[in-house]
Structure 1
Amino acid sequence: MIRGHIDFVSRTRVEGWIASDRLNLTGARVLAFVDEACIGGGTVDRFRQDLADAGLGDGVAGFRFPIAPEPWHDTRVLDVRLEGGSVLLKQGEACLAPRGAVGEDRKRQGRDPATLAWMRARGWLDQGHYEALRLLAEFGVYAQPLRFSAKALSEAARCDEAALAAADIVELHLLQPAELEIREDLGAADLLAIGQGLRAAFPHVAPVIGLWAERRREIDVVEGAHTSGAPLAAGGGIRHAFGGRDLLMLDLDGRFTLRDDGAFAAFVPARPGT
């Protein structure tokens, strides 16, 4: 008889256990599915004292592995299947909760380093995209050099090409096709409203945008504050530049201060269906 349980599911990982009275499942492969889409996999290789105390072999019956659901996947219906067999584990209870009431796993879809490494290993990300998402996840900011085409002779044309570069990263961050709005002549105060709008439009994904200007602008970013919520102390930020040939991707959940009052453009993912 095979028994098991899904103990925990978030937007980035799944945990549980599976054991058999007759078969040694240590090292067996388990896969996570939403409907018929495989969104992650791992092995039965974690020791758990509670399982050993319950007489389930030597207690090495646990699993924990990253998952990468699409934004439209409902992880309440996620199940775990034993690879090559007909056994599957379903969740006993599941419910929806508002964004502010859930933990960092739910808020930070796609940020977990193990998830990004898993996507890279499967060929879903090339090295450049992997580094972009990894640095955004770790520091809340990522700078990308721009290479304008020979046709980008005007400021408007260069702005359009910078927006395309930002869209490439944003789509991977959202794990879905996205249209970006180019919002021009912005100031620091505009970023608060943009962040609020993105949290409402994409509640399970961090609010990431691109920043660009024709002339160089500078911004101090408290790296890592997008996860800790640490306040910006005097001199506590790392200075980053954007504009010209530099695009800056910024997580608006972080703490940052623009160094001057110059206007800039922001590349903002549009609300789905608009």
Structure 2
Amino acid sequence: MDSATEAFVAHRNLLFTVAYEMLGSAADAEDVLQETWLRWADVDLHTVRDQRAYLVRMTTRQALSRLRTLRRRKESYVGPWLPEPLLTAPDVAEDVELADSVSMAMLLVLETLAPTERAVFVLREVFDIGYDEIAEAVDKNPVAVRQIAHRARAHVAARRPRGIVSQAEARGALEAFRTAIETGDPQRLLDMIAPDVVLLTDGGGMVQAASAPVVGADRVAHVLGRIDPAAVLRPAQVNGYPALTVRLRGKVDTVLAVRIDDGLITGLYAVRNPEKLSRVDREITVSR
């Protein structure tokens, strides 16, 4: 490989993770990487002091541009929008902060940030990029970036899960949840979900899904009780945490992730849009 290709390949997983955390879409993250590569191939490497920083800066700029386009697209999206689920490697769980940063619950919190706030938060809090480097990536001065980072940190802290759930706790909750659904035991299900639990189902207007959030234990239990008896529920590692895949006739019909607070399931995220399920049969590496 030539030097430019070698550098890009060496940092590709990092760049993908940066773009994915900013966009919540693996398809759009891959497009951003393609655009970054095309620009990187034209760079005179003799002028680049830090290749990793330079590539992160390029990726961030492309992702910011794509994020603004995505926001307009989401305004006309049918029903709730959820991030595209990723089948992640088990070793992601060893990096607790990385696993938390790509979790479905955290990505939904990041959706509530403005584009520049999201970029600053991701680069600073997840990847520990310096303020000067972030300033170059988002076209702000370092003082402004510090203020944005402080504001974004407070915003996320007020909305994120109350504590990072261990992999073992998440796995145990998912297994009990799976058993309750498969046995059709409504009381067992109600014992596991919070009274104010919220179920979001993303069908994108392509398959049947609730057009609005389903709120409350009884209503959510009723919806879950209608899962096709022929469905096969299997454990999977999705976005850094245990989740379930729901398969019908051998194909993934739904990816079901959960948010857990104080031992109860407070959020259920059911991705059903077929366009978002193409990557859950192959493992994707995220890194920082």
TM-score when scaled to structure 1? 0.27
Specify which structure has the bigger relative contact order, considering alpha-carbon pairs within 8 angstroms and separated by 6 or more residues.
2
User: If each structure's strand is expressed as a fraction of its own residues, which one has the higher value?
Assistant: 1
TM-score when scaled to structure 2? 0.26
